[in-house]
Amino acid sequence: METNPSASSRREFLKSTGKTVAGLSVLSGITLPHVHAAGDDTIDIALVGCGGRGTGAASNAMGVKQRTRLVAMADVQENRLEASFNGLSNKHPDRFSVSADSKFIGFDAYKHAIDMLKPGDVVVLATPPAFRWVQFKYAIEKGVNVFMEKPICVDGPSGKRMLELGKEAEAKGLKVGVGLMCRHCRVRGELFDRIQQGEIGDIILGRAYRLQGPVGTCFTLPRDKETEKSELIWQIKNFHSFLWASGGAFSDFNIHNIDEICWMKNDFPIEAKATGGRTDRGDYIDQNFDHYSVEYTFRDGSKFWLEGRNAMKTHNEFASYVHGSKGMAVISTAGHFPSRAMTFKGQNKDPKEIIWRGPKQEPNPYDMEWEDLIDAIVNNKPYNEVERGAKASLVTVMGRMSAHTGQLVTYDQVVNHDQEFAPNVDKLTLDGPAPILADANGKYPIPYPGANGMYEYVVKA
Ligand SMILES: NC(=O)c1ccc[n+]([C@@H]2O[C@H](COP(=O)([O-])OP(=O)(O)OC[C@H]3O[C@@H](n4cnc5c(N)ncnc54)[C@H](O)[C@@H]3O)[C@@H](O)[C@H]2O)c1
């Protein structure tokens, strides 16, 4: 039953204008109420980037209480799209409405997928983050809501652009979720409230650890040119190895822990002082260090230490803590979920000193972030996570840049930096070159602290 007359009249408006005026953005500049726009109460979803997380996010999107439906899929690799198509169609047959005509391959595939949506629907942007600003810009032009995976930028210029695009999305009333799903964890939410109410006093220190083996594609061997004909697609397949594509292992892996400390502190740091290096990398050609250590400083002078490592046979830890003047808190215990958040009197995790322990059963934050986004769309609540998503991404860049350059780096320096790893990322084509090329020895430029001033690497002519 229609309960919102403005929605109904808008649907009529869309039927009579948006559909018939091909190629003309009839909606641009017009602020419409952003309730969902499908002919019934169904919210249509398009998936751009059909890999591991994109498939997971689409599945979470199809699992929400509100009726949703996947209508389009886009990727640059057909086999990834097909695998995702098969998995999602089997898992959600009643909410799956992708046909041969709504599967798109190529660097412009995202446009075709977004074109299948109406204002009020949602596009999922789950490619490596290099493409985020390009695809977000188009989604804003088309007036569709967005769910985008973290990180949302890889360097200063792309972060600054995302902050601006976030404001444009806000001005249009679009709902935008950013995949820092721990922010939607109900137990961490309660922890945040307790900390803000002073349960552990003033926060004076944060500690975050992402110490793990070589996960994802952070270590990469030279390309086999026989089996991997396209250098660009090979770099995309190994996106954790290339700073232009992902911001490297540092940005991809550490951002969650960085963001949850910033959340509990209720601020973002203004400065980073970091070290790092490549210990024993054999023939690997990726641009990553394998260990990083960052001291972040907040405006009030308090500190936050981050330890990130990808190495074999070393101590593993995936956890975040904050220490206050009266006690300490566990934010993450071992991964993202369950958080097993707790607060303690004093600075030790002493079981006898527990103040509060989150409930054993925690709802999955990957589901919660979708319930929250869809609820905002259906009930037209303000919802735009771009500013904090961009700040978390930029603070992450700040730590990485400090380690890679060997310099003390401020937030302002990052936002105003001129090193954009792939300024042509919006013009890539399936048969075109990659943004960075190997030298005659098959090596890519790697960061070398102290060698290149404030630049993470310099491409030698
Ligand atoms: N929130 C989380 O916990 C979480 C977990 C994993 C990954 N992620 C994020 O999700 C994103 C994707 O990671 P993933 O692990 O799914 O990687 P993936 O390699 O499994 O998937 C990426 C997909 O995007 C496709 N793609 C690349 N460039 C494209 C383009 N220009 N247009 C269309 N498709 C394109 C690739 O072909 C691939 O299928 C990253 O930003 C990553 O950080 C988030």
Give residue 26's pLDDT. 30
- Ligand 1 centroid, distance to 51 Cα (angstroms): 5
Residues in the chain: 461
Residue with tokens 């596009």: 123
Residue range 231-240, pLDDT digits in tens: 999 999 999 9
Say how far apart CA 96 and CA 398 lie, in whole Å.
Answer: 41
Q: What is the position in ligand 1's atom list of the atom closest to the CA of 80?
A: 39
Q: What is the DSSP letter of 208?
A: E
Give residue 346's pLDDT. 96
pTM, full prediction: 0.92
Structural domains of the chain, with CATH: 29-182+369-385 (3.40.50.720), 186-363+394-427 (3.30.360.10)
- Ligand 1 centroid, distance to 126 Cα (angstroms): 5
CA trace torsion 60, 66, 71, 77 (10° rounding): -10
- Ligand 1 centroid, distance to 63 Cα (angstroms): 20
Say how far apart CA 49 and CA 367 lie, in whole Å.
Answer: 19
Asked whether the beta carbons of 233 and 432 are under 8 A apart, the reply is: no
Ligand 1 and 369: CB distance under 6 A: no
Peptide bond into 338 cis (omega under 30): yes
Asked whether the beta carbons of 260 and 159 are under 8 A apart, the reply is: no
- Ligand 1 centroid, distance to 49 Cα (angstroms): 6
Say how far apart CA 395 and CA 410 lie, in whole Å.
Answer: 9
Give residue 34's pLDDT. 44
Residue range 322-364, pLDDT digits in tens: 999 999 999 999 999 999 999 999 999 999 999 999 998 999 9
Residue range 3-47, pLDDT digits in tens: 333 333 333 333 332 222 222 223 333 334 345 444 578 999 999
Asked whether the beta carbons of 71 and 41 are under 8 A apart, the reply is: no
Give residue 32's pLDDT. 41
Ligand 1 and 32: CB distance under 6 A: no
- Ligand 1 centroid, distance to 184 Cα (angstroms): 21
> 10 Å Cβ neighbour count for 78?
12
Amino acid identity at 153: C
The three-class DSSP label of residue 211 is strand
Q: What is the position in ligand 1's atom list of the atom closest to the CA of 216?
A: 15
Residue 306 vs residues 203, 348, 452: alpha-carbon distances, Å: 16, 19, 24
- Ligand 1 centroid, distance to 305 Cα (angstroms): 28
Ligand 1 and 50: CB distance under 6 A: yes
Ligand 1 and 131: CB distance under 6 A: yes
Give residue 318's pLDDT. 97
> Which of 78, 236, 253 for mutating ligand 1's site (highest number of atoms within 8 Å of CB)?
236
Give residue 107's pLDDT. 98
Q: Ligand 1, atom 27: nearest CA belongs to which residue?
A: 127
- Ligand 1 centroid, distance to 181 Cα (angstroms): 15
Find the helix or strand (DSSP H, E) in which 20 lies: none
> Which of 48, 53, 158 for mutating ligand 1's site (highest number of atoms within 8 Å of CB)?
53
Ligand 1 and 51: CB distance under 6 A: yes
Dig out the tokens for 114 from the structure: 């977004």
* Of 295, 292, 332, nearest in space to 311 by CA: 292
